[in-house]
Structure 1
Amino acid sequence: MISAPLQGRAIVYHEHGGTEVLQFAERPVGAPGNGEVVVRFVAAGLNPVDAKLRAGRSRMQLPLPVWVGREFSGVIEQLGSDIGDFSVGDAVFGSIPQGAFADYVVAPATVIARVPEAVPLEVAAGLALAGQTAWDALESQQLRAGDVIVVSAAAGGVGGMLAQLAALRGIRVIGTASAANHEWLQSRGVEPVLYGNGLADRLAAAAPEGITAVFDQHGPETIEAALALDVPSERINTIATDATVYGVRNVGRGAVHPPTLDALAALVADGALDVPIAATFPLSEVRAAFEFLEAGHLRGKVVLTAD
């Protein structure tokens, strides 16, 4: 299929640093190749890893310049060949290694899924990376109904979805969070516990029978509390800090898996999975969006939207 060339803006940085290194650049959009689609940007989810990459603090390194953004939603504008049953005009969401914060996103058809009509595109924008990370981390432990787990940052992007997915499976979930998020956690079937000094004592009081597994999205505090409570190291998973320092697991998202994306979107459409949006910013205010994200203590996702 021959498509007219497109031109659009994208967010890029040429050096590591604070939000000041983020800038717009005009970028020609190549015609979609075999197995690819061009998606007109509607929204995108910010993730802590995006900020760590920009600051040069991530164990994962991308060569400079870096085109920013990993998860997005939008509407298919152009089609390459061999793209399955997708069509121009389909609302989709997905994840790519970089370059999702752009007016047009070129993506393989194998990393996107359709957005159900009942799911706002702003919500779908935060599902492909954060949602599948939560799903894959949870799947990494063999858990059953009645098990007791701890989820740190349980009102955040990944933690909030992981806690809810576990509760939907009949697992007892204790979630650490600030007091402002306790009522929301309770409404989603999660038992809230305040994070901070004395965490191990509060977790011991909440689960005197013991803790089956711990999922950390916050950092050393949660891991150290779990180890102090004799949770086996292989039952502790972190995506927030260097797992090798503590000898625990580090299972995040695997390869993009469209059936998982379909399952997540269906849960959102049914109202079983709540994905709060902490704040939205237009794409042109990407620096302010990152500053808001990096201030922390958020409930749900920070989302960029089309200007």
Structure 2
Amino acid sequence: MAKAFGFVGYGGPETQEFLDRPVLEPGPGRLAITVRAAGVNPVDWKIRRGLLGQDRELPAVLGQEAAGVVERIGPGVTGFTPGDEVFGIAATGAFAEQTLLIAAASAVKPKELGFAEAATLPVAAATADDGIRDVGVGSGQILLILGVAGGVGSAAAQIARSRGIRVVGTASDANRGYVGSLGAVQVRYGDGVAERIREAAPDGVDGILDLVGGEDVRAAAETLADRSKLVSTVDPATVAELGGRYITRSTTPDTLAELARLVAAGELDVHITGRHPLAHAAEALSLVESGHARGKVILDIG
């Protein structure tokens, strides 16, 4: 049996508990791995609350991204061998001692990259990369990131900066220094945010990557002339109403390998700000669910 952390019903933290599940065998397109680290993301608590549908077989293990060592390879999988150190999207929950990865959304981990750093990439950094591509801004243009201090926003700011894009990002005033360290200009979110964005970008912004939704994205859209350059990861209905669109995800082994290269080269700092053992998974998820986590929160496993 393998220890795991998941939920037994849809709802709040009271539905979470530790689970014992059988060691999983990889089917077609899957890699069985011993998990060494897993990333904690807002999507995890949203799944538990049933905000993304309620059709999962329960109990379900939480966690979307993991890094570890390949145990066994499923039918039809190429490019991986047992013993490889890998990272990718989990098919069966990542908050566990053992799980399955989707081979088509996984990559071999560079030796110079730690398991914890690798586990931050498949969801947050890959989402950031997809979002910047979808927005379609280029060197010398201004990208506004709503919610820049979180895991996706932190990665997006650095990736954009590496491509010559100027970044303005909404965050609390307490995160002003942190946002500056990402190479971005901080703007306080909340009432009056559109006026503060215009102060930072008097001619308006060239694109918006929305990571928060709600009233802030409505206000921020006023500073964007071409609404087709508005992309959201969280609020498809609102951005569609505003003339934008929901993000298109396309995580591939090549994308993950390039992100790992950026981290290994020192061009992308994944900003791990919290590391917790699997036994403290509830505390780690609570921190992310509070909305006040800066950078990335990781579970160290095994």
Verify the 8 A CA contact 2:194 2:222 in the aligned structure 1. Answer: yes
Q: CA deviation at 1:61?
A: 4.2
Partner of 1:63: 56
Partner of 1:294: 289
1 CA distance for matches of 2:248 and 2:84?
A: 25
Q: CA deviation at 1:34?
A: 4.0
Residues 1-307 of structure 1 mapped to structure 2, 5 A cutoff: 7-58=1-52, 60-65=53-58, 66-244=60-238, 246-252=241-247, 254-306=249-301
1 CA distance for matches of 2:157 and 2:245?
A: 17
**What is the SS of the residue equivalent to 2:71?**
strand
Partner of 1:3: none
Partner deviation per Cα, 1:98-129 (whole Å, 9 max, x = no partner): 41211111223222111112222111111101
**What is the SS of the residue equivalent to 1:155?**
coil
Partner deviation per Cα, 1:145-180 (whole Å, 9 max, x = no partner): 111110011121111111111111111110111223
Verify the 8 A CA contact 1:215 1:237 in the aligned structure 2. Answer: yes
Higher mean C-alpha deviation, range 234-243 or range 164-173: 234-243
Verify the 8 A CA contact 1:179 1:194 in the aligned structure 2. Answer: yes
Higher mean C-alpha deviation, range 225-234 or range 280-289: 225-234
Q: CA deviation at 1:181?
A: 2.3
Higher mean C-alpha deviation, range 175-184 or range 296-305: 175-184
Partner deviation per Cα, 1:46-91 (whole Å, 9 max, x = no partner): 1111111111223x44424132111111111223344323222221
2 CA distance for matches of 1:302 and 1:250?
A: 28
Q: Which amino acid aligns with 1:265?
A: A
Q: CA deviation at 1:288?
A: 1.2
Q: Which amino acid aligns with 1:179?
A: D
1 CA distance for matches of 2:55 and 2:262?
A: 33
What TM-score comes out, normalization by structure 1 length? 0.90
What TM-score comes out, normalization by structure 2 length? 0.92
Q: Which amino acid aligns with 1:139?
A: R
% identity of equivalent residues: 37
Structure 1 residues 243 and 231: CA distance shift in structure 2, 3 A = farther
2 CA distance for matches of 1:97 and 1:38?
A: 10
1 CA distance for matches of 2:259 and 2:24?
A: 30
Q: CA deviation at 1:8?
A: 0.9
RMSD: 1.9
Q: How many residues align?
A: 300
Partner deviation per Cα, 1:242-264 (whole Å, 9 max, x = no partner): 43463343433524311000011
